[in-house]
Amino acid sequence: MSNSDPLVIFTPSGKRGHVAPGTTVLQAARQLGVDLDSVCGGRGICSKCQVQPSFGEHAKHGIHADPGALSDVNTVEERYDRVRGLKPGRRLGCQACIQGDVVLDVPPESQVHKQVVRKAATTRVIEMDPATRAVYVEVEEADMHAPTGDWERLKTALFEQWQVDPVTLPQTLPIPMLIAMQAALIKGGYKITVALNTARTGVIKLVGVWPGFTEPSLYGLAVDLGSTTIAAHLTDLTTGEVKASGGVMNPQIRFGEDLMSRVSYAMMNDTGAADMTAAVREAMNTLAQELAREAGIEVTDIFEAVFVMNPVMHHLLLGLDPTPLGQSPFALATNSAMDLSAAELGLSFAPAAQVYILPLIAGHVGADAAAVALSEAPQKRDPLTLIVDVGTNAEIILGNKTRVLACSSPTGPAFEGAQISSGQRAAPGAIERLEIDPTTKEPRFKVIGCDLWSDDPEFTTQTAVTGVSGICGSGIIEAVAEMRMTGIVDANGLIGSAEATGTARARPEGRTHSYLIHDGSEDGGPVISVTQGDIRAIQLAKSALYAGARLLMDEFGSDKVERVVLAGAFGAHISPKHAMVLGMIPDCPLEHVTSAGNAAGTGAQIALLNVASRREVEALVHEITKIETAIEPRFQEHFVAANAIPHATDPFTGLRAVVSLPEPSFNSGSSGGTGRRRRR
Amino acid sequence: MSNSDPLVIFTPSGKRGHVAPGTTVLQAARQLGVDLDSVCGGRGICSKCQVQPSFGEHAKHGIHADPGALSDVNTVEERYDRVRGLKPGRRLGCQACIQGDVVLDVPPESQVHKQVVRKAATTRVIEMDPATRAVYVEVEEADMHAPTGDWERLKTALFEQWQVDPVTLPQTLPIPMLIAMQAALIKGGYKITVALNTARTGVIKLVGVWPGFTEPSLYGLAVDLGSTTIAAHLTDLTTGEVKASGGVMNPQIRFGEDLMSRVSYAMMNDTGAADMTAAVREAMNTLAQELAREAGIEVTDIFEAVFVMNPVMHHLLLGLDPTPLGQSPFALATNSAMDLSAAELGLSFAPAAQVYILPLIAGHVGADAAAVALSEAPQKRDPLTLIVDVGTNAEIILGNKTRVLACSSPTGPAFEGAQISSGQRAAPGAIERLEIDPTTKEPRFKVIGCDLWSDDPEFTTQTAVTGVSGICGSGIIEAVAEMRMTGIVDANGLIGSAEATGTARARPEGRTHSYLIHDGSEDGGPVISVTQGDIRAIQLAKSALYAGARLLMDEFGSDKVERVVLAGAFGAHISPKHAMVLGMIPDCPLEHVTSAGNAAGTGAQIALLNVASRREVEALVHEITKIETAIEPRFQEHFVAANAIPHATDPFTGLRAVVSLPEPSFNSGSSGGTGRRRRR
């Protein structure tokens, strides 16, 4: 275009250029690469291309916009305004023609690639570019003289009107979709709205069809399929808005608490794997129904789901045999990302709903870890970042722009409150925070469901319903760390006697000691204390975690990390300071230890809303160096050294600069030493 | 390779070239583009690569082959010979190395692209290149250090060992196939045999998997799905051998005899189309079971089926709504060739069996006509060829190397013996041949099930069981033509009186006459005659056929055709001379009128055995000019002119040179004239 042509400036993008007089705003936007939506293809039906012109002097842009810079409102716009209403000053981009210099604002609702801010511990911006979208298309009518099929004419129309080529029928129901298309074409007078899904291979599938112009409800589910909990977000695929979130217990728990017991169940029972597959699929359907009800939509409005999960959950959802995952070499049936139909997984969504499953990293490191990597994107950062997703197995990722490594480490369930004498799941009444006074060695704590510390006069009243029932994972970490910080536990993990520690709460228990936190026996409640066995369980778990991280650092060739990200629902509740005192994670400035919340769930949501992110995570997983802790001789070495609190050989200089760690020694000879390594 | 390297000559291809000493025969064949089979990939297991070396002086090729030109028999060959046996002199191409000049014969069983001769009226050679084939592959075992899935390692192995890339999972059961693959890899020690199917899009699917090396049974069905009869050939996809052939009645007949009555049934009954779909699928399964039993295989050995059928049968097999095909503009839901899974069509073959459906030409001209075009290949010939597939609707194809045209014409069921007073289906006892003595005007005939003419003394004895029950389609054509040739019927189609014709067999019947062929009333059998109404019915049918052909000739710009091919099971029994006397087909030297037998079935068989032919028929159908007879004004004109026998205006000079056609006129004023046009 020449400089004498009208200059158009789009805000907020700032994109500008000259266009021929008479160019529609929509055409101008396309010419200049401006993100302006349109569902009806410029026919004045959908109003997705609305813009807000600004007339007058624009000193900033150096132009004066005359009110005549846009063509007058035409009959199409008038009718639209009359029937459906336009906000004052708004114009339909497909109708308004540019006649002079003008500034046009594209409101967020007119942008295809609008940005959606995820509320998470770390604020994450997702650019909307979902795999599933709806378009309106006018199909040529059947013509005896040039006989072609309805389907072939629809494909031609999609190519000509939307540059979509080639479109295919969905894999599991090509014929039902042809039948629906036939019916919609007849009912809609050869004008229809279709939903298209772009698979990772670039194949575009017809997944929905409606007569005439309509704005169909297109919803997506982002699912974090955990061994314990199945969590999902139900999201509007057009706006990116989360309409409902929720979770259910994974019903496979009745076949085995942890992964390996489920694999064993599959190994020992002929229909074991099939039973677990059926159970998890049923739970998925129930969860989808509940979320749909909450959002006020139908499950058949769900056109897409994204799943992230560990390898055993992956194989059990798909109906693959999980038993090879129970023993070396932990052979996965497939590790690639998958595009499947929801129907193949027994999921009752829209008939042609599609499912995307993130790639697995290795036999122990699943699509959930891949989702964490997608969400946290260590490969895009300069500082060396350690990401730990703490659960029964910890997934550990280490990397920066140069390289990313991953492994898993068998921490066991101690961090979740299991195998702890007073341990319990995180539930109302469970101690989740704990402090010990360095002088008096008296503890105070908070329980889930109450914001007060236990030394508050109101505490007993406010916790009357729940009581104080036990210690959850974050509580036991803080308890052990505080005991170490106040000299009740020594570096070897031994609890000292009342004499040695100066508190009567240190009470003998057989040949060892325990530390009393809360005696509820007067009110019929439990006596809650930390025993020597509890400390040992925590030591085993944290040693495994640390050793895994350390192994990755060795492989990376670095002695220290610059950032630590605690991921997972549990990670969100861990106090960085206490985790570091315990030696769960390597020494690192405390302000650089953050929580990412449910990063796996966030990764699933990103993959749901942005199709390019699927290519990104697939490429990333391909590039990640996988380390197998089970066969790495140095793992054992690191594990033993990590048994001490915080560590036998790593000085933790940074930590000691901000936290005082007394160094008593309670070793009476017989009960000290290292823990046995256990693999779960 | 240099000229000092050994010269190897393969027969029968005659391909020759120098190869480096030590090259295996299999490698040499690949280097020189010689078709030498191998299923095990050169591991000395499958013996598909056997060759027969010829030593000594080869004057023809100008070389002397020394017995040392091939390496000595090695332990692999020795073991193979011991265990499974090699014919004398044969060598395994993957083991024998070339050390000097040599001539090697590739026996037919060692060729992948062996040629299969179809026994048909026209002998047709099909080059074997089926879409489904089996290969043996050795997959890398799972490795913890480089974790990838079994499926990904299988894909890598298929690429490295067979240059197959990329392989996908079958559309309807990706997960069951992954499960089967997992199990086979474990059982086969990571050595497996797989069946691969190449779709028309080039996508290669894994459709079968077996542990270890095996030669799986791979069978295919070529199906001609007619409105009346479903006919199928069960063929070995490795050898091309037809193992069983057969047919069943199309059970949809109970919903309507002809296509339009079935479309009406679908229109009038909510579950009409679905009921007909279920019926035809069930019949297909029954037929497949019968053929499998006859061939001594399991239906699960059927990995592929090819279907050809008219548009209504196509939509009803697929479960699409056929009602748009009942009225203008005869809109097809889809007209392209399709790759589907057998399971989608409710067909119980191998779980991942694939189905290929030939493309439809137009709303009235189906995949059966496309198959005829594939089989007869008019586009590859210089002479202008007219192909008519005679049935309730006639499909008509006209063309040569320059251009191909097609239409369908509503002949109605008269050619099949329906709507004829003594008409019946072709069955034992039906008159199928007829001659009238030009002098005595006495008829003689043959019935189905007996080789004697009716004037043979043994005839009555030999037909005692069946009797003489009626006239089938070919019989009525010969009867009317003979009546015309002997002056019993005039050019307008009027039967003369006894006086006018000189035979008492011409008997008054109301205001018209009939011609008595056989009076079985003494033995309680029927009186068989040709009535004036029968002549009218045949005139309507033959006029429609001729008018369709003529319309294509107009469009082609030619007054005559050089070849006529009569296709269809019925076409195989029509006498060319009688058909031409009747004026069913245009004038053409009689020796150039041939029958192609079931050309549609042959086309299906070609598409089954040669994957390239699918591209060929798709391209051909795309190029064919479709003519819609229903809306072409000249059709009516041609139809009226064609009512006369043989024709009112076309002189049929060629015919008259070899056949004498008397020209009486029996027009008594009231009963002559043209037939009404009827559309069925």
Q: Kindly tell me if the per-residue pLDDT of A32 is higher than 50.
A: yes
* B328 contacts on A by Cβ (under 8 Å): 144
pLDDT band at B118 (very low <50, low <70, confident <90, very high): low
Least confident stretch, A144-158, A563-577, A589-603, B113-127: B113-127
Encode pLDDT of B54-77 as tens digits.
888 888 788 888 889 999 999 888
Q: At what angle do helices B367-376 and B612-623 cross, to 10 degrees?
A: 110
CB B14 within 8 Å of CB B106 = no
Residue A158 DSSP symbol = H
Chain-chain contact of A334 with B175 (C-beta, under 8 angstroms): no
Q: What is the mean pLDDT of residues B197-221?
A: 92
Q: Are B338 and B307 in contact (CB under 8 A)?
A: no
Averaged pLDDT, B624-647: 91
Cβ burial of B68 (10 Å; 0-12, 13-18, 19+) is exposed
Q: Residue A542: what pLDDT?
A: 94
Average pLDDT over residues A47-54: 89
pLDDT tens for each residue of A142-153:
888 788 899 999
Residue A57: pLDDT band with limits 50, 70, 90: confident
Neighbouring residues of B242: CB distance < 8 A, sequence distance ≥ 6: B233, B234, B235, B605
My answer on whether omega of the bond before A646 falls inside 30° of 0, hence cis, is: yes
**DSSP 8-state code for residue A393:** S
Give residues 211 to 240 of B whose Cβ lies within 8 Å of A: none
Distance from C-alpha of B569 to C-alpha of B596, rounded to nearest angstrom? 9
**Nearest-by-Cβ selection for A340 from B149, B174, B329:** B174
H and E: helices and strands count for chain B: 18, 31
pLDDT of residue B210 exceeding 90, the answer is yes
Mean pLDDT estimate for chain B: 90
Mean pLDDT in residue range A592-598: 89
DSSP one-letter code for A439? T
For residue B179, the distance in angstroms to the closest alpha carbon of chain A comes to: 6
Tokens of B178: 């992954």
Residue B187 identity (one-letter amino acid): K
Query: Do the Cβ atoms of B626 and A183 come within 8 Å?
Result: no
Instruction: Please tell me the distance from the alpha carbon of residue A389 to that of residue A396, in angstroms, as a whole number.
Output: 6
Write the single-letter amino acid at A435.
E
Quick one: residue A510, left, alpha or beta (phi over 0 = left, psi -120 to 50 = alpha)?
left
And the tokens for B580?
A: 């031409």
More confident residue, A173 or A513: A513
Coil, strand or helix at A325: helix
Mean per-residue pLDDT over chain A, rounded: 90
DSSP type of residue B477: H
Residue-level pLDDT at A117? 56
Across residues B583-587, what is the average pLDDT?
A: 94
Contacts of B621 in chain A (CB under 8 A): none
* CB-CB contact of A23 with A7 (8 Å): no
Say whether A319 and B179 touch across the interface (CB within 8 A): yes
* Cβ–Cβ under 8 Å, residues A211 and A187: yes
Domains, chain A, ordered by start: 7-110 (3.10.20.30), 131-211 (3.10.20.880), 221-357 (3.30.420.480), 376-413+537-658 (3.30.420), 417-529 (no CATH)
Q: Tell me what pLDDT residue A87 has.
A: 87
Residue A321 to residue B183, Cβ atoms within 8 A = yes
Q: What distances in angstroms separate CA A343 from CA A12, A349, A354, B174, one per listed residue?
A: 42, 8, 8, 12
Residues A602/A608/A613/A619 CA torsion (nearest 10 deg): 90
Beta strands in B131-203 (DSSP E): 132-138, 167-168, 191-198
Strands A354-357 and B242-249 turn out to be: unpaired
Q: What is the pLDDT of residues B271-304, one digit of tens each?
A: 999 999 999 999 999 999 999 999 999 999 999 9
Lowest-confidence range among B151-165, B415-429, B529-543?
A: B415-429
CA atoms within 13 A on the CB side of B342: 26
Mean predicted confidence (pLDDT) in B93-103: 92
**Strand B430-436 relative to strand B56-58: parallel, antiparallel, unpaired?**
unpaired
The burial of A14, by beta-carbon neighbours within 10 Å (0-12 exposed, 13-18 middle, 19 or more buried), is given as exposed
Alpha-carbon distance of A18 to A2, in angstroms, equals: 7
> In this structure, are residues B349 and A166 in contact, taking their beta carbons and an 8 Å threshold?
no
Task: Kindly state the DSSP code that residue B452 receives in the 8-state scheme.
Answer: S
Phi/psi class of residue A596: alpha, beta or left (left: φ > 0; alpha: ψ in -120 to 50)?
alpha
* B530 backbone dihedrals φ, ψ, rounded to 5°: -105, 120
Query: d(Cα A320, Cα A286) in Å, to the nearest integer?
Result: 22
Q: 3-class SS at A643?
A: coil
**pLDDT at position A671, please?**
42
CA–CA distance, B274 with B488 (Å, rounded to integer) = 50
A85: pLDDT confidence band, cut at 50, 70 and 90? confident
Does the pLDDT of residue A557 top 90, yes or no? yes
Chain B: give the shortest CA distance to residue A85, in Å.
38
Backbone angles phi, psi at B403, to 5 degrees: -170, 150
Q: Confidence class of residue B393 from pLDDT cuts 50, 70 and 90?
A: confident
| Among candidate residues A553, A540, A536, A628, the one with its CA nearest the CA of residue A584 | A540
- Decide: B17 and B8 in contact? Cβ < 8 Å: yes
* B131-167 residue pLDDT tens: 999 999 999 998 887 888 999 999 999 999 998 888 8
Is residue A350 within 8 A of residue A303, CB to CB? The reply is yes
Mean pLDDT within B603-619: 95
Residue A678 has pLDDT above 50, yes or no: no
Q: Which residue has the tokens 């650092």?
A: A553
- Partner-chain residue, chosen from A143, A145, A626, that has the shortest CB–CB distance to B147: A626
Q: How many residues does chain B have?
A: 680
Q: What is the share, in percent, of chain B residues with pLDDT greater than 90?
A: 67
Chain B residues 340-399 with CB within 8 Å of chain A: 340, 344-345, 360-363
Q: Is B179 on the interface with A (CB under 8 A)?
A: yes
pLDDT surpassing 60 at residue B121: no
Lowest mean pLDDT among A480-489, A562-571, A633-642, B533-542: A562-571
Residue B678 has a pLDDT of: 41
Mean pLDDT within B609-624: 95
B203, B320, B344: best mutation site toward chain A, by most A Cβ within 10 Å? Answer: B320
Q: In chain A, which among 572-591 make CB contacts under 8 A with chain B? A: none
Among A275, A336, A361, which Cα is nearest to A623's? A361
Residue B564: per-residue pLDDT: 95
Asked if pLDDT for residue B417 goes beyond 80, the answer is no
Query: Would the pLDDT of A267 be above 70?
Result: yes
- pLDDT at residue B677, rounded to an integer: 41
Residue B569 or residue B520, greater confidence: B520
pLDDT for A363 equals 87
Cβ pairs bridging A and B (under 8 Å) = 148
The region of weakest confidence among A32-36, B91-95, B119-123, B557-561 is B119-123
Question: What is the reported pLDDT for A657?
Answer: 92
Q: Is A329 on the interface with B (CB under 8 A)?
A: yes
Q: What is the pLDDT of residue A116?
A: 65
Confidence of residue A672 (pLDDT cuts 50, 70, 90): very low
Answer whether B28 touches A (CB < 8 Å).
no
Average pLDDT over residues A96-111: 89
Q: Which residue of A has its CA nearest to B630?
A: A144
Determine the pLDDT at residue A391. 74
Report yes or no: B169 at the A interface, CB cutoff 8 Å.
no
The CA distance from A316 to A276, in Å, is 7
Phi then psi for residue A428, to 5 deg, are: -50, 135
**Distance of alpha carbon B108 from its chain centroid, rounded?**
25
- How far apart CA B619 and CA B637 sit, in angstroms, is 33
CB within 8 Å of chain B, chain A residues 71-130: none
Using the 8-state DSSP alphabet, how is residue B365 labeled?
S
Name the residue facing A178 among B174, B333, B630 (closest C-beta): B333
Q: What is the pLDDT of residue B123?
A: 54
Q: Could you tell me the CA-to-CA distances from A533 to A47, A491, B166 in Å, in that order?
A: 67, 15, 55
Calculate mean pLDDT across residues B188-200. 93
- Arithmetic mean of pLDDT, A295-308: 97
Residue with tokens 């041609």: B638
Q: How far apart are CA B298 and CA A32, in angstroms?
A: 63
Is residue A122 scored above 50 in pLDDT? no
Is the pLDDT assigned to residue B669 strictly greater than 80? no
Is the pLDDT confidence value at B422 over 80? Answer: yes
Whether chain A has a CB inside 8 Å of the CB on B321: the answer is yes
- Whether residues B150 and A178 touch (CB distance < 8 A) is answered with no
Residue B622's nearest CA partner among A1, A146, A79, A57 is A146
Q: What is the structure's pLDDT at B60?
A: 79
Q: Which two tokens stand for residue B129?
A: 């290149």
Give yes or no for A166 touching B (CB within 8 A): no
**Model confidence band, residue B672 (pLDDT cutoffs 50, 70, 90):** very low
- Interface contact A330-B151, CB threshold 8 A: no
Residue whose structure tokens are 């202008």? B384
Predicted model pTM = 0.82
Contact B316, A171 (CB under 8 A): no
Q: How far is A318 from chain B (nearest CA, A)?
A: 7
- The answer to whether residues A514 and A507 touch, using CB atoms and an 8 Å cutoff, is yes
pLDDT recorded at residue B116: 65
